Amino acid sequence: MKGNLSEEEMRHALFGTAAHESKAEAEDLRITSDQQHVSKARRAPTSRSPKLRVTLRVTTDFEGKAETFTFEASTLSSLIAEQQAKTEAKKRKFKYFELVSIESV
């Protein structure tokens, strides 16, 4: 084996090609609009967790005009669902509550 190799011979030994051959035009890898993947429209995710619908009769004044207030709680505990519904009704400035029903949704 030769002791003194030229740079060109070293490249050929290491890479198998000459320097000017390695700079050959590479394949164009850009994506055109025909090649782009178009995903289908997704449906809105539905909640898989159990829910309870709490219906309250609420008023701002004692024995005043009553309104029906419904709240959906994502829990199985009717007590916690009722407390969450009352808290939400308090945020909406209602003072008096009467529980009408608690239903599973």
Determine the structural domain holding residue 69 and report its residue range. Answer: 52-104
17 belongs to a structural domain: no
User: Does the pTM exceed 0.75?
Assistant: no
Report the domain count for the chain. 1
Q: For residue 19, what pLDDT is reported?
A: 47
77 belongs to a structural domain: yes
pLDDT in tens, 27-73: 666 666 655 566 677 776 666 778 999 999 999 998 889 999 999 99
92 belongs to a structural domain: yes
With cut-offs at 50, 70 and 90, classify the pLDDT of residue 88. very high
67 belongs to a structural domain: yes
In sequence order, what DSSP letters do the residues of 89-104 get, joined into one string? HHHTT--EEEEEEEEE
40 belongs to a structural domain: no
Tokens linked to 9: 């011979």
Q: What are phi and psi of 44, to 5 degrees?
A: -65, 140
58 belongs to a structural domain: yes
80 belongs to a structural domain: yes
With cut-offs at 50, 70 and 90, classify the pLDDT of residue 22. very low
Q: Cα separation of 98 and 30, whole Å?
A: 65
